[in-house]
Amino acid sequence: IIYLIFRSETKLSSIYHRIMFSMSCADILSSAAIALTTLPMTSEFPCEGNPWEGRAKGNIQTCEAQGFIIVAGGITGLYNAALCVYYACAIA
């Protein structure tokens, strides 16, 4: 979608393209953070019998950054709602 937007003549000048670009960027970031699973998690996880001991390669900052990006990825729903409003206004 991002590639198609930047290849189009209007690029980011249309509201539809801005909404789709923002939604795609948020989705890519959130998906990348989810795909990393336990890698950014701190190896000093404060839990007895930590089952992720071998797969955790990060520290507190990487763990918090991953959590922030995953939660911030929820903004995709707001972009979807904005797209619905845009179409409702375009039809009316």
The burial of 86, by beta-carbon neighbours within 10 Å (0-12 exposed, 13-18 middle, 19 or more buried), is given as middle
In order along its 92 residues, the chain shows pLDDT tens digits of 999 999 999 999 999 999 999 999 999 999 999 998 888 887 776 566 666 666 778 888 998 999 999 999 989 999 999 999 999 999 98
24 closest CA partner among 68, 71, 76, 65: 76
pLDDT score, position 49: 62
Q: Return the number of other C-beta atoms located less than 10 Å from residue 73's C-beta.
A: 18
CA distance 84 to 72: 20
29 closest CA partner among 65, 69, 63, 80: 69
